[in-house]
Amino acid sequence: MVTRRHFLATSAALTLLPGVALAEEKSDVVIIGAGLSGLNAANLLVEQGFKVIVLDANNVVGGRVRTHHTANGPIDVGASQIGRSYARVIDACWRYGLKLIPEDRDLLKFGAHYQNHWIDNATWASHPLNRCEGEERSIPPLMMGSRLAGKYNPLKNIDDWLDPKFSEYDVSLRTLLRQKGHSAQAIELAALSAPGIGIDETSVLRMWQEETRGALDRKFGTDVKTDAHKDHPFGEAHTRDIVNGLTSTSNIEGGCHLLPLAMARPLGDAVRVNKKVVHIELSSSAGAVTCADGSRYRGRFIISAVPFTVLRKVKISGPPGPSVAQAIATMPYANTARLYLTVDPFWLEDGLPPSFSTDGPLGMFWAIDNHKGTGPHRAMIVLVSAVAREITKRGTEQAVPFLLSELARLRPASAGKVRVNTYMDWGADPLQLGCGFSLAPGQVNSFARTMLEPWEVMHFAGEHTRRSDFGMESAMESGERAALEIMARAA
């Protein structure tokens, strides 16, 4: 059991914070954000005897784990993929009695629509639009970014991206490809499928962190070789070989939002929703939090488990912050917007590839195998990078009809064969302002290695604070890390 002997000794210091009122609610730890990281930290701290309060601005827990319930069943519009190496997530699912099921999202054959032409990847090398040079010519046009980024990845271990010996790679993908002597068209094509926010906006080290961790997950517990030459730039291929009862990627039956709901349940009324934090006051011995509704909470420690894009909108008072202050102010957040559809297989009529990537505002169309060939299929229009930023500007009411019209323009055979299930644009969600960890060129060297150092009594968690994990597992790991940091300081 972790001791709390310092809590009584420091409780008097709490009253020294500016503006503290007697009506403030006291707690050992105030946690901002009730996503996976905040809830995991809360449960671990409660198990060790700490009193916690968890605040979330939304009207429901979960953060970016969100399930929309539609006429065609639950659809996970946020975090949903659980790899075999996600030990903390898998353990939590088993502990809370949630059933893991194989992900059913096998994508049908991909093609490309580039410069108003339909491209067959098999014949691209000899296509008249192909002005690439040497080995570049054989790379499918909308695979150029991910393929070339991966070609130069020197990382062997999942935390190598933070090793100063790789600091020269804290540059944009465009800079790296120019250094390596790639052709102008290869760089132009790479811009259409660069991992992260974009070819100029994302550090290559951040791209390689994701790729290196993803490779570990794909081969975890199996000797099966994965295909390094998949035909689509985003999204993992799912292998159905069973290892320890799991396929390569699992989901939660009934929707992944069941996990944060289950994690919140043992915390009871310690979890407070509709609590938008507007002010955080810090000292060396205590912290206080004020919400938009005027409610105030104070504790010996604070954990911020919300994205830095959201935290930077909160007033933080107290001594100057360490490098994390720079991260809060400037660290970007990637975005994804997706339109979830049910479609009749119009590709059987027009003879074009079922799934395709484009160099236009549609982004990607993913046709999902229904394992029957005919009849309704699930599908998604997936927008990342620059096209995701542009669609956010339209707003949901304009975005959905625009995307449907663009699909009909490119694939006239789709007219009358597409039905909308739901839509999610994480960049338009004011409580998230994006959907994933990113770092701009130069930011690994500038602050990423030290940005998790506490700011006085405030510790940091969330997927955006990842070190050696990614996805849902990085959220769980970060909550555990923050909880252990506080336990060590309180001992």
| Domain residue spans of the chain | 5-63+256-332+440-490, 110-237, 336-433
**In the CATH hierarchy, which fold is given to the domain comprising 336-433?**
Polyamine Oxidase; Chain A, domain 2 (3.90.660)
Looking at residue 369, the DSSP 8-state letter turns out to be P
Residues 428-448: tens digit of each pLDDT? 999 998 888 899 999 999 999
3-state secondary structure of 445: helix
Q: Tell me, yes or no, if the two domains 5-63+256-332+440-490 and 336-433 fold the same way.
A: no
Residues 98-131: tens digit of each pLDDT? 999 988 888 899 899 999 999 988 899 999 999 9
Q: Of all helices (H) and strands (E), which one includes residue 381? A: strand 377-384
Residues 401-427: tens digit of each pLDDT? 999 999 999 999 999 999 999 999 999
CB 75 within 8 A of CB 340: yes
Residues 259-272: tens digit of each pLDDT? 999 999 999 999 99
**How many Å apart are CA 306 and CA 323, to the nearest integer?**
17
pLDDT of residue 242 exceeding 80:
no
pLDDT of residue 297 exceeding 60:
yes
Whether the CA torsion 116, 122, 128, 131 is positive or negative: it is: positive
Residues 16-43: tens digit of each pLDDT? 444 444 479 999 999 999 999 999 999 9
Q: What is the pLDDT of residue 458?
A: 98
**How many Å apart are CA 324 and CA 329, to the nearest integer?**
9
Residues 153-199: tens digit of each pLDDT? 999 999 999 999 999 999 999 999 999 999 999 999 999 888 888 99
Q: Is 285 annotated as a binding residue?
A: no
* CATH superfamily membership of 5-63+256-332+440-490: FAD/NAD(P)-binding domain (3.50.50.60)
Q: What percent of the chain clears pLDDT 70, i.e. is strictly above it?
A: 90
Q: What is the pLDDT of residue 105?
A: 83
**How many Å apart are CA 448 and CA 323, to the nearest integer?**
8
Q: What is the pLDDT of residue 18?
A: 46
Q: Is 463 annotated as a binding residue?
A: yes
φ, ψ of residue 176 to 5 degrees: the values are: -60, -45
pTM value?
Answer: 0.90
Nearest by Cα to 28 from 320, 452, 457:
457
As a residue count, the chain comes to 491
Residues 319-351: tens digit of each pLDDT? 988 999 999 999 999 899 999 999 999 999 999
